[in-house]
Structure 1
Amino acid sequence: MQEPRASGYRAIHLIVKQDGFLIEVQLRTQTTHQWASDAEAFSALFGENYKQDGDSVIQEFLRLRALLENTPDDAHKAADVSTFTALAQKVRSMLKGLPNESEEVNDE
């Protein structure tokens, strides 16, 4: 990818025409697909678009997780793992702040 987005989103989008219809095809690796799926899930939970460029805790967490997943174990830097752990704890705290489904049902 020549100019990857700062948000961490990675995909190649192709528009093809089939039987008069335009169809978008996204080419992703397993890691980039997982990143996009997770970004969409976090976006739905928090009402933000995490695929857009930004520097939120969620985006930094997703970027660093993708980096660590694509790096051989022996090449992980202690600082990256430490930063990832701190970000994971922040994300966990954010998720704990969300109402769960059983609470929402009981409030109605």
Structure 2
Amino acid sequence: MNRNVLVVGGTAVAAYVLGTRANRPTLAEHPETLRHQVERLWRDPQAKKRRAKFRKQRAKDARAAKKALQKQTAKARKTLGKQAESARKNVAKQTDRATKKVRSAIAA
């Protein structure tokens, strides 16, 4: 009976050890480290083309945004310029009216 327990126990330990080692990846199966994978992907010609295309598209988007911003800025400057001129004229009119009232009050 003791012998049977030892045989079954030994078989269980051996099966456990072999089972855990069977699931372990070895270096031979995965020789590439993460750094090597990144370098390989960075040097990939298709990836280079995609990065260049992405850069060109972003540059095109930046130019379009710059042009739209310049257009809106010019429009705002024109509108604000008109409003500023109108405000200046109104202030000048009010100043002239006030000056006339003061002069007429002094003359009276």
Higher strand share: 1
Q: Larger C-alpha radius of gyration, 1 or 2?
A: 2
Which structure's relative contact order is higher, taking Cα pairs within 8 Å and 6+ residues apart? 1
**Shorter-normalised TM-score: what interval?**
under 0.3
TM-score by length of 1: 0.24
Higher helix share: 2
TM-score by length of 2: 0.24
